[in-house]
Amino acid sequence: MLRTLAGTIRARGPAILELEARDTGNTIGKLHADVEIAAGYLEYFAGLASELKGETIPATAKGLHLTLREPYGVVARIVPFNHPFMFAAAHLAAPLMAGNAVVVKTPETSPLTGSILGELCQQICRRVSSI
C-alpha cells in the first residue's frame, strides 16, 4: 500500500504542487522536490517492511528469549507550515509500515494538501478492501 501511495503521489504531483504553492505562498520551484521526496520515503520504508522482525537470543542451555516487534498503536504527526505535504506524506511511511495508525495535524495556515493526502490514502484503502 505504501508503494501504491508513492505512485499515486507522483501521478498527482503537478496538482499537489500547484495547490501547495497557492496554500503556502512558496514557489513551485522551491516545492518541486517535495513530491519526489515524499514518494521516495514511502518506497524506502515499504522496502524495509520485510526487515521488521524479532530476534531469538540464547538465555540458558535449555531456554531462549524471544523478542517480538509490536506497533505502538497511534502515532501523532504535527506538520510544519513551510512544506506541509512533504513532511506529512514522507513521515507517514515509518509508522504505517510498523503497523501503527497515524494522526496528522496539518498547520492552520496551510492545511489544504493535508486533505489531498487523506483523500489519496482513502482511495488506496478502498481499492485494497474491494479486492
d(CA 84, CA 112): 9
Residues with Cβ < 8 Å from 5, sequence gap 6 or more?
Answer: 42, 89, 120, 121, 124
Render pLDDT for 9-32 as a digit per residue (tens, 0 to 9). Answer: 999 999 999 999 999 999 988 898
Q: How large is the average pLDDT for residues 119-125?
A: 92
More confident residue, 67 or 25: 25
Question: 103 forms bridges with which residues in the sheet?
Answer: 76
Q: How large is the average pLDDT for residues 83-99?
A: 93
d(CA 22, CA 16): 10
CATH code, 77: 3.40.605.10
d(CA 92, CA 126): 18
Percent of the chain with pLDDT over 90: 68
Looking at the structure of the chain, the number of domains it has is 1
Q: Which domain holds residue 88?
A: 2-129
pTM of the entire structure?
Answer: 0.84
